[in-house]
Structure 1
Amino acid sequence: MTALSQGSGPSQEGPTFIRVRAALDRVDRVTKYAVIIAMAVMTILVVTQVVFRYAFSSAIDWSEEVARLAFVWAMFLAIPHGIRRGVHVGIDALVVRFSESVQDFLFRLAAMLGAGLMAVIFWFAWDVTVYTLPEMMPTLNLTAAVYYIAVLFAAIHSLLHLALLAWGGSKTWEEEPRP
């Protein structure tokens, strides 16, 4: 008997749910590597800048801006991964006293409200991105809006995770039992 026919875990939601979860998993794998690359770029640039300043009494004029940009992108791309794993700060002193069905309802409600908040964040980030599009960075031939584009990506990716959690519940990302 499969997990689907047993009615346990996230499979009970059906094949559409499983396909959506798999698609979001593929997006997560891509953004995971983007976070790793951004952190590596930031680290390499900061270390190189320190070496240049102290060893050669020189500086790389664009390194600070690129390192800051890599940091911003890494942090915003990592937010949905925290949502997926449930590692963001939460206070559950009251919620854990409720029955499992009430806890599931509250989890799904919180996920829906969080998805709504991400939609609002996307809307405002869009406005700021459009507003800052003509501004250029001081040392790079790049629009300053690139900082806010990271917020746009994070908001959409987080919204997708929260919508999936509202749909599938807290066990959405648990591994399916092996036969």
Structure 2
Amino acid sequence: MKSFVLTCERWSSGLALAGACAMLALASSLGMFQILMRFVFEEPAEWTEVLIRFSLIWMVFLAIPVAFRQGAMVSVDVLYRWSPPALRRVLDAVVCLASLTLMGVLIWWGWDYARRGGVQTMAGLESLSMFWAYLAIPVGGVFSIPGIIGNLLDPRREELETAQ
């Protein structure tokens, strides 16, 4: 069961990271296009600014699962270093529970926020609903859950272990 969960986590985190990388590439490309249009052709493309912001939001929320998997989101290093192994597992469980609770709140309210924001349109892109920008919140939360559980089952603390 543990190996199945970790395989699913690896797959979902890889998919989320690929999406985050694609959003970074899109934001970079649109930024270069905007610079070219504004300063070389003196015809600014205002729509690129909106899409850059949109892609950066998605990039952040899709990269969060990888940070959770690496144990980089919630860190109690000093307490963890000073604790005996039994207390370390308790700390891992508390951090996991707190993180899952936070993700539950983000998924619930993020979905509600996306639905309510669906009536708005993006300034500069009137044909695109704000639903798609706000949807990054619950999607990032859903992708984070396997990373949080994966970190509990198979913690990665290479940085913490080398610092001791």
TM surpasses 0.5: yes
- Is 1:148 the equivalent of 2:134? yes
Q: How do 1:158-173 and structure 2 match up within 5 A? A: 158-166=144-152, 168-170=153-155
After TM superposition, give the deviation of residue 69 of structure 1 in Å.
0.7
RMSD across aligned positions (CA)? 1.8
Task: Decide whether the 8 Å contact of 1:52 with 1:60 is kept in 2.
Answer: yes
Q: Aligned letter for 1:60?
A: A
**TM-score normalised over the length of structure 1:** 0.80
**TM-score normalised over the length of structure 2:** 0.87
What CA distance in whole angstroms lies between the structure 1 residues aligned with 2:85 and 2:42?
A: 62
What CA distance in whole angstroms lies between the structure 1 residues aligned with 2:149 and 2:16?
A: 18
What CA distance in whole angstroms lies between the structure 2 residues aligned with 1:114 and 1:32?
A: 19
Q: Aligned letter for 2:32?
A: V
5+ residue gaps in structure 1?
A: 1-15, 173-179
**1:25 corresponds to which residue?**
10
1:85-114 Cα distance to aligned partner (Å, 9 max, x none): 122363422231110121121112211111
What CA distance in whole angstroms lies between the structure 2 residues aligned with 1:32 and 1:143?
A: 25
Tell me the matched-pair count: 156
What CA distance in whole angstroms lies between the structure 2 residues aligned with 1:99 and 1:112?
A: 20
What CA distance in whole angstroms lies between the structure 2 residues aligned with 1:87 and 1:62?
A: 34
Task: Decide whether the 8 Å contact of 1:36 with 1:74 is kept in 2.
Answer: yes
2:77 aligned to 85, 92, 110, which one?
92
5+ residue gaps in structure 2?
A: 158-164
After TM superposition, give the deviation of residue 132 of structure 1 in Å.
0.5
**1:176 corresponds to which residue?**
none
Tell me which structure has the larger Cα radius of gyration.
1
Aligned sequence identity (%): 21
- Is 1:75 the equivalent of 2:60? yes
Which is strand-richer, 1 or 2?
A: 2
Q: Aligned letter for 1:17?
A: K
| 4+ aligned runs moved over 4 Å, structure 1 | none
1:108-156 Cα distance to aligned partner (Å, 9 max, x none): 2211111011101111111111111111112221110212111111111
